């Protein structure tokens, strides 16, 4: 849950999930529950060293269906480390017209509300989210689940537990329109991976 944010009156960016390879229904356990799969792309590896979030996305899971989405680039006063840019492909020109943090984070907070969050390597994403909200004078303490940790327990035989590796194993492949290491598509993959792992774990 995120503390009250001043000026958080604008509705979140809701994008209907397109009827393509992402739009499927996964018959998973947990009907009636709500989770939000998230992902961030950043200027570097550590908020302690001054790195910032430059893209954030969230995908809502209602019961066993993937429904609404939130996604935004974020214009920050911080250079992008070349190693980070090589991973996600986001450069300064792409951020020039993006909204600033104090516009994006209140909308993001409204979108996720107090729902439990899902992330692959959750400690990384959450460290950046806590840092960004602390800059606004707000606490960030939504409960969360880490699909990386869960995949290591459920799928110890995999050669590695990167999101794309786990997704290929569980889903039979990556959707053709997926842009790995961009926040929205990674959040979508996290949602699908979570649903499939929940189905395999079964009730309880």
Rounded-to-integer distance, Cα 3 and Cα 109, Å? 9
Distance CA 31, CA 124 (A): 28
CB 200 within 8 A of CB 171: no
For the record, the structure tokens of 16 come out as 């209907």
Name the catalytic one among 81, 145, 169, 181. Answer: 181
Q: For residue 150, what are the contacts with CB-CB under 8 A and spacing of at least 6? A: 194, 197
Contact between residue 33 and residue 11 where contact means Cβ atoms under 8 Å apart? no
Active site annotation includes 120: no
**What whole-number distance in Å separates Cα of residue 109 and Cα of residue 105?**
6
C-alpha to C-alpha distances, 83 to 72, 80, 91, nearest whole angstrom: 21, 8, 12
> Which candidate, 111, 120, 117, places its Cα nearest to that of 130?
117
Residue numbers annotated as active site: 181
């Amino acid at each position: 849950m995120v503390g009250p944010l001043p000026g958080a009156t604008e509705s979140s960016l809701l994008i209907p999930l397109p009827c393509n390879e992402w739009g499927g229904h996964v018959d998973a356990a947990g009907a009636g529950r709500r989770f939000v799969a998230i992902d961030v792309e950043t200027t570097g590896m550590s908020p302690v060293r001054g790195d910032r979030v430059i893209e954030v996305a969230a995908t809502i899971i209602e019961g066993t269906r993937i429904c609404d989405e939130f996604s935004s680039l974020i214009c920050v006063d911080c250079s992008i480390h070349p190693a980070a840019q090589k991973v996600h492909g986001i450069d300064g020109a792409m951020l020039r017209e993006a909204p600033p943090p104090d516009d994006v984070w209140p909308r993001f907070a409204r979108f996720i509300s107090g729902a439990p969050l899902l992330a692959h390597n959750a400690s990384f994403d959450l460290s950046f989210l806590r840092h960004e909200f602390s800059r606004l004078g707000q606490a960030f303490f939504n409960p969360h689940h880490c699909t990386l940790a869960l995949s290591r327990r459920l799928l110890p035989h995999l050669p590695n537990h990167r999101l794309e590796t786990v997704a290929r194993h569980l889903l039979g492949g990556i959707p053709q329109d997926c842009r790995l290491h961009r926040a929205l598509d990674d959040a979508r993959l996290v949602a699908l991976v979570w649903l499939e792992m929940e189905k395999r774990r079964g009730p309880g």
